[in-house]
Structures are given as C-alpha cells and as structure tokens.
C-alpha cells in the first residue's frame, strides 16, 4: 500500500511540474513551427510588395506604351501621344505592324535610324546617289525626319497622288521616262548594229540600220551599210532598191551612184551603170577618183568617147603622173578622130610610163596618126 501511495505522489508531483512550465517539450516544438511560418509569410509579402513597386516604377518611367494600351478601345484612339505616333510611323516604314511591346525612346530612335539607313542604301544601290533632280518622293512624317536629324528629301516633280503605299509610310518611287533625242536613238541603233556584226548576225545588223533610216532617211552611213550587207549576201535586188531610194532622196551624193553602178556592171547592165554615173557631173577632186575612173572605164567600153574624154581629162588633172589616164585620154580622142589631141596624149602616156602592151599600142598609133 505504501508503494502505491509513493507512486501516486510521484505522479502527482510530475503533473505539477508540467503545469508550472518547467519542462514542456511538445509545446516548444509547436511554437517553432509557428515562428517559421510567420517568417515565410513575411518574406512572401515583401516579395509581392517589392514586385509591385518595381512594376509601378517601370511603367511610370516609360509612359510611351501604357497610353496606347489604355486608350486602344476608346473613341480617342486617333489622339495617341506623339511617341506612339512616331513608333507607328517607324514600324510602318519598316514594313511591320506595331508590336505593342515596351520599347524605350532610345530603342525607337535607333530602330528609326537603322531602317532609314537600310532603305537609303538600297535605293542608292538601285538608282544611284540622291541628287537634286531625283525622282524619289519622301513620304516619312516631317517630325520623324526632324527627330532623326536628317532633312526630308523634296522631289522637284509634281506631288504624287495619295494612295495606300503613301499612307502606309512606305517610299514611293516615281519613274520619269527620259526622252532621248533623235541623235541619241540613232547612236544606240548604230551600236546595236555593230554588236550584231561582231556576232555575225547580219539580219539583226540590217534591222538596226533600217531603224536608223526610219528616223533619218538621209543617213548615208546606214544606207551604205545596208546596201553593202545586201550585196555581200548576194541580195542584189534589195541592194539596188535601197540605193535607188538613196539617190532619189540625196541625188548629189556620189557613193550611192557608184555602188549602184558596180552592182549593175555585175549584172551586165553597163549602159544603165554608165547612165547612173554620167547623170552627175563631178569636179576633178581626189575624193571622186573612183567614181571618175569607173565612169571613164564604162565610157571607153561602150565607145562613149565624149564621156570618156571628160572623165579622163579630170583624172589627168587629179593624177598628172599616172600614165594610164593619159593613155585613156589619147584613146578617147583617137576614137573621136581628133588626131593631134590623140597623138599628144599618147606621147604623154609613153613619157610618164605605162604598161608594156599599152606602150606598144600607143607608139603604133602615134606612127599611124602622124603619117
């Protein structure tokens, strides 16, 4: 019994110690957990408050974006701030839509300068450097040009009609056709003909020369080239036609007649050839040497002594030391039965010097005519 009483007293004593707060391990553990949770809640609140303050400072430091978001759905959408307008103009000029991102004013200016420099480099590469007479019309807003520190270009052409391209802020190129003079067009055709000839394209060359004649029917170079090309390809009919047209347009130009006469001789039409040459009287000039020599030859062949005398007389004045001209003149007088003139010119030919066969003939005729 005493043992039981002793145990009960001991149990009662322990309960009193717990009630007095001397030893409470379970209660101490519970207080620690509460403290940790309180600290975590405080830290979380600080993070939330700090994030809110940071977001507020960031938004209040860049007012260029928020007004556009706030006013996007209102009736005052067209009255967005100047910064938003500039951003939209720059974005349109770059060919993109406004993104709505938070972009600083410095970034906007850098993008503006970059896009403008890119467009300018591209247009200079295609059309050359800008000049006072450039036909590129600047459609950027004046405020954007002024902000970039670069004056807007002003075209000296009439103002372009407003269209979607202009309203969107893109550059619009106005191509002004350049009127070439007749001389410039002829020069281009001539170069095209020369290129065709170098490539062996005769048809293309003839086509280019004919284009010149359409612009200038009196162009002697083109007409002679065409006649020569037709002659070279044995198209004598077309060669004759082009030369006859030239004679009708420019009757005093001897080369047309000379070329036509040579073609006629090749076709065995010597009388017609002589008629073409004899219808134009030329003076004794070295530039007319071939013309007069051909005329003299045909006149001698066809026994046209009067024409032969005229032609050979001019040739002897041009080249007095050429014996064959003196011999031809003596023969022409001989056929006209003008003996003194014939003998005189035969002797001149022998003294100047002629071929051996002609020399023998001349000496023989001199003896016969002097008897």
Phi-psi region of 176 (alpha: psi -120 to 50; beta: other; left: phi over 0): beta
Q: Where are the beta strands (DSSP E) in the chain?
A: 136-137, 172-173
Structure confidence by residue, pLDDT tens digits, 327-353: 999 999 999 999 999 999 999 999 999
CB count, 10 Å around CB of 223? Answer: 26
Comparing CA positions, the residue from 170, 238, 181 lying closest to residue 209 is 238
- For residues 358, 360, 362, 366, the Cα torsion angle rounded to the nearest 10 degrees is 180
Residue numbers in the chain where pLDDT is lower than 70? 1-30, 59-174
pTM over cut 0.85 = no
Structure confidence by residue, pLDDT tens digits, 59-83: 665 544 444 444 444 444 444 344 4
The whole-number pLDDT of residue 311 equals 96
The whole-number pLDDT of residue 122 equals 58
The whole-number pLDDT of residue 105 equals 60
Q: Using CA atoms, how far apart are residues 222 and 249, in angstroms rounded to an integer? A: 14
- Three-state DSSP at 125 gives helix
Q: Are 279 and 260 in contact (CB under 8 A)?
A: no
> What domains are there in the chain, each with its CATH number?
104-177 (no CATH), 179-252 (1.25.40.10), 281-371 (1.25.40.10)
Residue 279 backbone dihedrals phi, psi, to 5 degrees: -75, -10
Q: Are 285 and 316 in contact (CB under 8 A)?
A: no
Sequence-separated (6 or more) residues with CB below 8 Å from residue 88: 80, 98
The whole-number pLDDT of residue 157 equals 42
């Amino acid at each position: 019994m005493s043992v039981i009483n002793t145990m009960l007293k001991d149990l009662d004593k322990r309960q009193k110690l717990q009630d007095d707060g001397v030893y409470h391990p379970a209660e101490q553990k519970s207080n620690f957990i509460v403290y940790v949770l309180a600290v975590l809640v405080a830290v979380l609140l600080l993070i939330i408050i700090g994030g809110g303050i940071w977001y507020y400072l960031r938004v209040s430091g860049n007012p260029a974006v928020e007004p556009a978001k706030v006013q996007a759905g209102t009736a005052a959408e067209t009255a967005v701030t100047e910064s938003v307008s500039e951003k939209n103009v720059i974005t349109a000029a770059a060919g993109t839509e406004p993104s709505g991102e938070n972009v600083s004013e410095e970034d906007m200016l850098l993008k503006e300068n970059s896009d403008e420099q890119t467009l300018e480099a591209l247009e200079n590469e295609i059309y050359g450097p800008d000049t006072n007479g450039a036909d590129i019309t600047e459609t950027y807003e004046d405020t954007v040009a002024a902000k970039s520190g670069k004056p807007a270009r002003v075209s000296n052409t009439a103002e372009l009609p407003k269209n979607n391209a202009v309203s969107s802020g893109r550059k619009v190129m106005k191509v002004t056709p350049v009127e070439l003079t007749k001389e410039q067009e002829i020069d281009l055709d001539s170069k095209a003909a020369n290129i065709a000839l170098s490539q062996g394209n005769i048809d293309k060359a003839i086509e280019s020369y004919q284009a010149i004649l359409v612009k200038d029917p009196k162009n002697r170079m083109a007409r002679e080239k065409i006649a020569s090309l037709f002659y070279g390809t044995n198209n004598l009919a077309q060669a004759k036609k082009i030369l006859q047209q030239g004679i009708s347009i420019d009757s005093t130009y001897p080369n047309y007649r000379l070329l036509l006469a040579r073609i006629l001789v090749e076709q065995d039409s010597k009388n017609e050839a002589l008629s073409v040459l004899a219808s134009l009287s030329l003076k004794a000039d070295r530039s007319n040497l071939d013309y007069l020599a051909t005329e003299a030859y045909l006149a001698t062949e066809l026994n046209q002594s009067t024409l032969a005398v005229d032609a050979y007389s001019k040739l002897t004045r041009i080249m007095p030391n050429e014996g064959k001209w003196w011999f031809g003149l003596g023969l022409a007088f001989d056929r006209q039965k003008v003996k003194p003139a014939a003998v005189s010119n035969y002797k001149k030919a022998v003294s100047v010097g002629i071929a051996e066969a002609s020399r023998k003939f001349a000496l023989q005729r001199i003896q016969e005519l002097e008897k």
